[in-house]
């Protein structure tokens, strides 16, 4: 049973990534998984249940990556988190390109994702505060600058796949990381600038 459910989810992710969420029907997923529609319905009666199962798996992986980063969020570990997150988003790219459709069609998934987003933003804030306290970030204490920066970081990391599709660009982990660090660069102290330069030297090797 577990193998069949895994096969269904793997087939669904492949089709959603390739064709877009709205263009995939249950019959398409059953055909891709080489099972009958009745067999698939025994495990997942609706497309919403399939998307919910995928979202549960994706959320768990996102939380694990972010929790690992925030153990000691030095620049090197933040960059490692970004590259692993890019790989994760590539595997589930439909969720990020079709996020608005998912929010509109599936309120329960939307609610869980909204809670996850707030948690993710809290983790970004912890990362900023940690690096401010160790003297590599200087964040002005005006007009909710921390909150604004957190929102910017979330947008560049979680809307990246929509951005690159609109601009007709191939997904690139280096570009993904540059967009994130581009938000952080204006916040760097002299010490932070030195650490960032060291990071760049490591990532080009």
Question: Computed from CA positions of residues 114, 66, 162, 13, in that sequence, does the dihedral angle turn out positive or negative?
Answer: negative
pLDDT of res. 142:
79
Would you say how long the chain is, in residues? 205
How far is 188 from 194, CA to CA, in rounded Å? 9
Roughly how many angstroms between the first and final C-alpha of the chain, as a whole number?
Answer: 45
Give the pLDDT confidence of 61-105 residue by residue, as tens digits.
999 999 999 999 999 999 999 999 999 999 999 999 999 999 999
Over residues 176-198, the pLDDT tens digits come to: 999 999 999 999 999 999 999 99
Q: List b or e across 91-100, with b for residues whose CB sees 16 or more CB atoms inside 10 angstroms.
A: ebbbbbbbbe
Res. 5: pLDDT tops 90: yes
Residues of the chain with CATH 1.10.10.60: 1-45
pLDDT at 1: 55
What's the CA gap between 5 and 186, in Å, rounded?
Answer: 47
CATH of domain 55-203: 1.10.357.10
Residue 141: the pLDDT is 81
The per-residue pLDDT for 204 is 62
Flag whether the pTM goes above 0.75: yes
How high is the pLDDT of residue 27? 96
Residue 202: the pLDDT is 82
What is the tens place of the pLDDT at every residue in 161-176?
988 888 888 889 999 9
CA dihedral angle for residue 149, residue 125, residue 64, residue 165, rounded to 10 degrees:
-10
Digit-coded pLDDT (tens) for 27-43: 999 999 999 999 999 99
Residue range(s) occupied by CATH 1.10.357.10 in the chain: 55-203
Contact 65/124 with Cβ under 8 angstroms? no
The token pair that represents 36 in the structure block:
């009958």
CATH architecture of 1-45: Orthogonal Bundle (1.10)
């Amino acid at each position: 049973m577990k193998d069949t459910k895994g096969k269904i989810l793997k087939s669904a992710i492949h089709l959603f990534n390739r064709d877009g969420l709205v263009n995939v029907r249950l019959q398409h997923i059953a055909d891709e998984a080489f099972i009958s529609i009745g067999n698939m319905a025994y495990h997942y009666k609706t497309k919403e249940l399939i998307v919910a199962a995928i979202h549960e798996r994706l959320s768990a992986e996102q939380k694990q990556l972010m929790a690992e980063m925030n153990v000691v969020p030095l620049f090197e570990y933040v960059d490692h988190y970004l590259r692993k997150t890019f790989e994760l988003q590539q595997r589930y790219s439909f969720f990020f390109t079709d996020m608005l459709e998912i929010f509109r069609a599936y309120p329960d998934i939307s609610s869980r994702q909204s809670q996850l987003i707030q948690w993710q933003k809290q983790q970004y804030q912890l990362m900023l505060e940690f690096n401010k306290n160790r003297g590599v970030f200087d964040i002005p204490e005006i007009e909710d600058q921390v909150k604004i920066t957190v929102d910017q970081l979330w947008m560049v990391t979680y809307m990246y796949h929509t951005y690159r599709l609109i601009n007709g660009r191939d997904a690139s982990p280096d570009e993904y990381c540059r967009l994130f660090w581009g938000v952080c660069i204006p916040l760097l102290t002299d010490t932070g600038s030195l650490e960032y330069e060291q990071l760049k030297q490591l990532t080009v090797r």
